[in-house]
Amino acid sequence: MAEIVNKIKQSKLETVDLEKFAGEIVVHELDLKDYLFQGLILKEKEFREKMEAHNWSQYEGGYLTVYCSTDAIIPKWAYMLVVQYANEFTEDVLFGKKQEAFSQIVKQKLDRHDWETYHGAFVLLKGCSKMDIPAEVYMYATKKLLPHVGKLMYGEACSHVPVFRRKRR
């Protein structure tokens, strides 16, 4: 009987799993409408009192993203005030909705990665994961990989879609 050979393990294929970059990211949202008079009007004194009374420690160790879900006009100093209170508890304070902030955080992590390690490599950008990684993050990772890789694929080792192959000179 012939020995079963795992060709995937023997291949020179390197896998980049974006879930590893996104793994432990916790993003909390703060909707400023909840701190406005009737959800629409920012009254400075009341807003400052609510900001001071807010339990900022609930965001400890995570990221906080701030937005307003109503058509209220929020002065820029109000967002600055949120940063002033939240900054000591959070990894970072960002503007926008949770999905936008998540993508921004992962992209920051991708910026810190050493992509040169994939020089000339056949790289598989892993497709299946437990998390919903936004398409925007896959696009960003692709831009980071393209200058370095010999070949770029998407999916799983047993079933992948070719995306890019460097032409031989």
Given its phi and psi angles, is residue 96 left (phi above 0), alpha (psi -120 to 50 degrees) or beta?
Answer: left
Residue 114's pLDDT is: 96
User: Residue ranges of the chain with pLDDT lower than 50?
Assistant: 5-10
CA distance 156 to 4: 20
What lies within 8 Å, CB to CB, of 46 at 6+ separation is 37
Residue 156's pLDDT is: 86
Residue 127's pLDDT is: 83
Residue 81 within a domain: yes
Residue 6's pLDDT is: 46
CA distance 169 to 161: 24
Which one of 102, 118, 145 terminates a domain?
A: 102
Residue 8's pLDDT is: 45
Residue 23's pLDDT is: 81
Residue 39 within a domain: yes
Residue 2's pLDDT is: 64
Q: Which domain holds residue 139?
A: 7-24+105-165
Strand partners, 135: none
Length of the chain: 169
- The CA-atom distances, in angstroms, between 76 and each of 61, 66, 80, 83 are 25, 12, 7, 11
Residue 11's pLDDT is: 55
Residue 128's pLDDT is: 76
Structural domains of the chain, count: 2
Supply the pTM of this predicted model: 0.81
18 and 33 part of one domain? no
